[in-house]
Structures are given as C-alpha cells and as structure tokens.
Structure 1
Amino acid sequence: MSGAATPVTAELLRTMPLPRHREGEDKDQRGRVLVIGGSVEVPGGALLAGVAALRAGAGKLQIATCRSTAPQLAVAVPEARVLRLEETPPGGISPAEAPRLAEAADRCDAVLIGPGMMDGEAAAALTAGVLERAEPARGGFVLDAMALHRLGACREVLRNHAGRIVLTPHAGEMAALLGIGRDTVLGDPLAAARQAAAALQAIVAMKGGCTFVVTPQGRAWLYDGGNVGLATSGSGDTLAGVIAGLLARGASPVEAAIWGVYLHGEAGVRLARKRGPVGFLARELLAEIPAIMAATACG
C-alpha cells in the first residue's frame, strides 16, 4: 500500500480511543511493562523509559539493568521492581541473561528493549536471544536504540512476532537497518519507514522533525507538531517508554505508536511554551503526559 500519510490530530485519536479503566480496577489490570536497558555509562535511559511507561498509565513496572547500577536505579525509581543482570566488560547487559529475560517477558504485557544500552554487539545478541525464546507478548515489544543494532539479520525471529513489534529508529538507525545512506533516509523518510516495516513485519515509528508511523502493509500516519526542543538527550527513551506503557494497557501496537508519538510531541509543545523552544529536559516531558492524554481523550 502506498499513498499519502494521514495527519495525526487530537480528532483522529478520538476515533481510536485508548483502553478505559474503571474505578476499582487494580494495577494488574493496567498491565505490566518490562524495560530491558541501561548500561554503566547511561543508566538513566532505562529510568526515563520506565517512568514514561508509568506516566502513560501502565500499572506495574520492572526494569532489568546492569548489576552495578541496579541498586541506584531502584532508589531512583521506587515504583519499579529492578532486576540485576550480569554485565559485559564494556558495561552492558550480558547476552547470557537472554533466557532469564525471556521468562520475565512472558509474564509481562509489554516489553521495551534498548534504552540506555551502549555495548552494541552485546545488545544485538541479547535482543535476538530474548525474541527467539519469548512467546509473543500479549501487548507487544518495543525495540529502541541499541536494540535495533543488527536487527536486519533477525528477520525470521521478528516474523515470529509479526505485527506485535514497534521499532522507533532515528535516521541513522534506519540507515543501518536498511543498509543505505543516512542522506537517503532523510531524503524520503516515509519510503524508508515503509521498506523497513514491510521487511521486518513491524510497526515503524520513524523519528524526525516529522515523525511517521507505518504498518507492514504500508499504511502511514504523520505527526509534524513537535519542535526542535525535543531533539535532546533522553527524548527517544521517553517516547519508547510511553509506547510501551500504552501497549501494556491494551492498545494495539499501531495505536500505541500513534498515540505515543502525539503525546511525546505535544509534551514538547507545552514545555516550549513554559521554558522556551530549546533547553527543556527529557525528564520534564514525563509529567506532561497524563494531562495531555486525558485532555485528548475527552476533547
């Protein structure tokens, strides 16, 4: 399928409402998120993603991260259960932890892999190992940042989770996924997103000044309401976390991606008004999410 992308607006989102939660429901009914990420150098990526999942409404959070940084992360995010994992010499999560993490993934509604990972080869092996062993998640998987490293070599594994995976690449990561130049991606990001979505049978959120969400069948949506302030460290981690949180609540992968891109972008708009067009922090996006989500849903 080809053709123009549909603009993402509040009016459009009200035609694809998020799951509603009634008074009296417990946290299990809002879903469990597992965030697999972080490294010795960037432990905060998993923190940002995990808190973003809770801000998007998920009921329970687990963060699986490097053994040496897990205690500090547990204190920083008291809402989370933190799993301590063996490390590689460069300070990443050991691929040997894949069987344990696949078991943990099978008990969760949505799984996010990648935020804050720095050891590319270890991250690629870990991601492949988890996907090979895990049952298709009830909500789905979100693969971000280093989890996208060498993902193109895992097509058969990805097809076991066809339609249940959301990829969130920026232009450089997309270029590596497709084996093409970054300038080629920037020249036609929608075409690149469609190519990757079809080849990997995944929902693709192609990040950029204008972000595209594309299905494996080629249907596409675009959100162009963000601002330059969102191009800041940790911003992608928050987006991936929001999408994972929405998946855990019961949104479909494509709905979670579309809503997530919108909520993330509108949070940037609000902060630009409060703080100025640049200089706000990724962590500041988090507190904006619930109010935007409620206002969008209610009209």
Structure 2
Amino acid sequence: MTACDHRHQLFTVDQVRALDRRAIEELGVAGYELMQRAAAAALVCLQQHWPRARRIAVYCGPGNNGGDGYLLASMAREAGLQAVVIALDASRGDDAIRARHEFEQAGGTVIRWHQDEPLPVVDVQVDALFGTGLRRALAPDVAELVRRMQANGAPVLALDVPSGVNADSGAVPGEAVSASVTVSFIAAKRGLYTGQAPGHVGQIQLEPLGLPEGLWQGVEADAELMQAHTLPPRPRQAHKGNNGHVLAIGGEHGTAGAIRLCGEAALRAGAGLVSVATRGEHLVALNSARPELMAHEVDGMQALAPLLQRATVLAVGPGLGQGAWGHALWLAALDAALPLVLDADGLNLLAREPRPLSGTAVLTPHPGEAARLLGQDTAAIAADRFAAARELARRYRAVVVLKGAGSLVAAPDGRVAVCPWGNPGMASGGMGDLLTGIIAALLAQGCDAWQAAVLGTGLHARAGDLAARQGGERGLLAGDLLGPLRLLLNGRES
C-alpha cells in the first residue's frame, strides 16, 4: 500500500499530527523538508488550476502554515511569478522563521497586514493563515482580512485547511475563507468533508508529499470516504420474491406525497414488492399515480397486522405524524421485529418515547431530529457531527445516517463513512423520504444495515448530483432523482 492508497481514509487532526511526527522522528524526514515538499506541491496545484496566473498574493500566519506560504512564495518567484506576502505577525517556530527569512533574503516583499491598506490586485490568492490547529473563531482583525480576501474576487488556494474551518469537525464558528481549491497535505482531514466545511473547501486535492507506506502502518483511520458502488447484476432467473417486500408506513391526513415518494423510491431502488400502509383518503391518488405500489387503507394496529406478516422490511415515518394513529402504527412496526428504516416522525416518536430497537435498524435523522434523540440542541450536533453520529449509533444500537452536507453513516462499533456527494439543490422537501425508501429496498435485497445505509446514502446523493447536472440545482425536486437513481443502480451514469 502506498500513500496514494489512503485517499479514501479520513483522519483526525491529532492523527495527522502524529503522522507528521512519525515522518520526522521515525522516517527521518526533517520538518523543514516536509514544509518544502508541501510548498512545492501547492505550487504545482496552483499552476494546474490557474496556468495563466502571473501575480499571486500569499497571506501568511505566524505558524507552520505560514511557513508553507513563505516557501510557496519563494518557489513562485523562482518560477517567474510575481509573489507578494501579506503577514499577520512575526513568524514563530524554527521552520516558519527560517522560511520567512529565506523569502526575504531572496528579495521577497512582506507587507504587514493593516486594515487601512488595500489588498493587492492579483490573479490568485493563497490562504496560509492558519492550519489544522485552529478550533476557535478567527480574531476580529483576521476575520476582516478574510472578508477583504473574499471581496477581492480573485480565486483562493487554501493550504491544508481554509482558515476558520475546524479540520476535525467541519464546524465554522465565525468568518472563514471560501477557497476554490484546498490542497491538503499528508492525509485527508475528516472535518473538511462534512458540516459547514463543504461550503468553504472548494475542490480538495490530497498531496501525501511522497511519504512511504511505512508511515501509515498500524494507524487506523478515524473514518472513510464513500466510494461509488452499486449492486451486482441480478441473475437471469431472478423473480420478485428474491428481492424482498418493503412495507412503507405513513401518510397521515394531508401527507400522501411523503409516503408515495418513499414507496416509489423503494421500487426504483429494486425492491421486488412495495406495499403502503396509509390513510384511506390517499388510495385513489396513490393507485392512479403509481399503480405498482400496493396501497392499503390502515386505520389502526389490527388492519396493519396482515401487512406486517407479508413484509420483509419496514420503512416507517414519512408523513406518519405523532398523533394517535401514527403512534399506534409505530408501536406495531417496532414490535414486529422486522428490519426497518426509521425516519421523520418515526424518529420524533422514538425521541419522545425511547425504547430499544430489536434486530436490524437504520435511523436517518437530520440534525434537528438527531438533537431530539440525544436531548441536545442543533448547535451541539453541528459542533461535532462525528461524535453525535457515533453516540446515536451506540445509544440505539442501530446504523445511523446523520443527514446534511457530507452525510455521515455511523455503526454501533464506531465505524463512520462520509458521503462526498450531494448538492444544495437537494435541500428541498421529500429528499429524506426518498432516502428512507432506497435504504429499505437495499435491505430487502440482502444488504446488511451498514451496507444498505452506506450504499443508499451514496446512491441518493449521486442521483441528486446527476439530476442537477441535467437541469441545474435550483428547482430540483425529490422526484427528479428517481430516473438518475435507476441509471446508477444499473451501472450507468447517463
């Protein structure tokens, strides 16, 4: 295994620091050499993305991230570019001081940042203010610099981490750089792929700096980045009974759309049969719009019982409500001890009435639902999505999909997978109902809870991206994902 094989592994800040120390102490790569390698990789990245750039401004902080910036500026000058450095303060640490000294000795210009001075007009800006260690909001003067950088209009290359982004959690507690490209050194930092971070990192380019495979031996990544997968082709002799029977339960008065989207997604994701247990007023609409769904009027637990006997997987929650009807069906579904996916009011009822989940279960909360399940507020969830997802999985002994930008899938054993796909157009009604149906269909076709959640989350997000490419993000509807979903499940992307 080489360093490049680690591109799908995600590490905490402490793990990356340990890898950095290991490279220095055990592999004999000096800290200053690592800084030189990082600067050289960053310059190559800059020239790849902006080959016509001739003038760059490098914004340097006092630490090693700033040292990377000084060396990048030196190398850019040697390559014939005009490079000016804007510094926050004096450099600290032997390597950073040495990097600044070499830049100045070679004739480079360092300008001390002052709010009264305009920023230079350049083709590309380089953010080398703060690296992985920053967990707090930027100081007011630095926040003002970041606002000026954004107003400048020139694209930004961030070194390792966009300043102001928490590389561990993905939280952004204050102002933060919005980069066009982030070049991340040695190993991928888990926080750059979830929470608020995806709105700041732009395109992430991982540079392992030529370090040997021995650096990673014995180091277990904290999480993994999902890869694009689908189900294998079906055997020619397959029939509908081989692919499971999903029972979607929900659709209180006025919410036929939620349960229809869930059921139709289960069909499009390959379930052999899909039944819907809902209010009688919805039957005509469901039968006329999607006759492949077997819609049943269910007015209570007694009417639900025969449907539960025929089902192999349950999808519970879309449009369920929290009234007496929804509560009764929820209780019956949980008592059935069938594999199930819980979403929406299925989760709200669980938060209101905690109880153990027997057997295979996948929970799909958004941050608000996660907060209710954990007895916290949404700010606490946003502050550490990894911890929240892991605690939900542990507490409920279920696989959990914590939705949002960079959705996380967590298992009770501590595993976490991060979804790198999805787009802002998916922030619209009905998207969660689709995900519930997709995961339920994958369970019905033989996936275990972890496989179904990871594959389903990835397919859902990729379908959203494919639909957005076809028609744009704004105005994207949940139903627009069904066609692309079918293509992806069959190994086709267009």
Question: Normalising to structure 2: TM-score of the pair?
Answer: 0.53
Contact 2:252/2:326, CA 8 A, preserved across alignment = no
1:280 aligns with 2:470: no
2:392 aligns to what?
196
| Secondary structure in 2 matching 1:175 | helix
Counterpart residue type for residue 101 of structure 1 = L
Pair 1:30–1:156, CA change in 2 (3 A): same
2:215 aligns to what?
none
2:321 aligns to what?
118
Among 256, 271, 274, the alignment partner of 2:467 is 271
The superposition leaves residues 114-145 of structure 1 with CA deviations (integer Å, 9 ceiling, x where unpaired) of 1122345643443123212x1x32xx100010
Contact 1:128/1:157, CA 8 A, preserved across alignment = no
| Secondary structure in 1 matching 2:318 | coil
1:93 aligns to what?
none
The superposition leaves residues 190-249 of structure 1 with CA deviations (integer Å, 9 ceiling, x where unpaired) of 211111110111110000011000111111100021110111110110111110111111
1:92 aligns to what?
none
Among 207, 210, 213, the alignment partner of 2:406 is 210
Counterpart residue type for residue 79 of structure 1 = E
Aligned mates of 1:122, 1:180 — CA distance in 2: 27
1:8 aligns with 2:226: yes
Among 136, 148, 162, the alignment partner of 2:347 is 148
1:91 aligns to what?
none
Among 205, 221, 224, the alignment partner of 2:417 is 221
Aligned mates of 1:119, 1:74 — CA distance in 2: 25
Q: Alpha-carbon deviation of 1:106? A: 3.3
1:234 aligns with 2:437: no
Aligned mates of 1:172, 1:102 — CA distance in 2: 32
Q: Alpha-carbon deviation of 1:3? A: 5.9
Structure 2 alignment gaps of length 5 or more: 1-219
Aligned mates of 1:131, 1:66 — CA distance in 2: 19
Contact 2:224/2:417, CA 8 A, preserved across alignment = yes
Contact 2:266/2:437, CA 8 A, preserved across alignment = yes
| Secondary structure in 2 matching 1:74 | helix
The superposition leaves residues 40-95 of structure 1 with CA deviations (integer Å, 9 ceiling, x where unpaired) of 22111111111100111111110110112222212221001111022xxxxxxxxx
Superposition pairs for residues 96-135 of structure 1, below 5 Å? 97-119=300-322, 122-132=325-335, 134=336
| Secondary structure in 2 matching 1:283 | helix
**Percent identical residues:** 37
Aligned mates of 1:177, 1:156 — CA distance in 2: 11
Structure 1 alignment gaps of length 5 or more: 87-96
- The number of aligned residues is 274
Aligned mates of 1:295, 1:271 — CA distance in 2: 16
Larger Rg: 2
Counterpart residue type for residue 5 of structure 1 = A
The superposition leaves residues 241-279 of structure 1 with CA deviations (integer Å, 9 ceiling, x where unpaired) of 110111111111110110111111001111111111221
Among 36, 56, 80, the alignment partner of 2:249 is 36
**Where is the helix percentage greater, Structure 1 or Structure 2?**
1
Q: Alpha-carbon deviation of 1:24? A: 2.3
Q: Alpha-carbon deviation of 1:19? A: 5.9
2:379 aligns to what?
183
Pair 1:19–1:156, CA change in 2 (3 A): farther
Among 16, 33, 51, the alignment partner of 2:264 is 51
Q: Alpha-carbon deviation of 1:184? A: 0.6
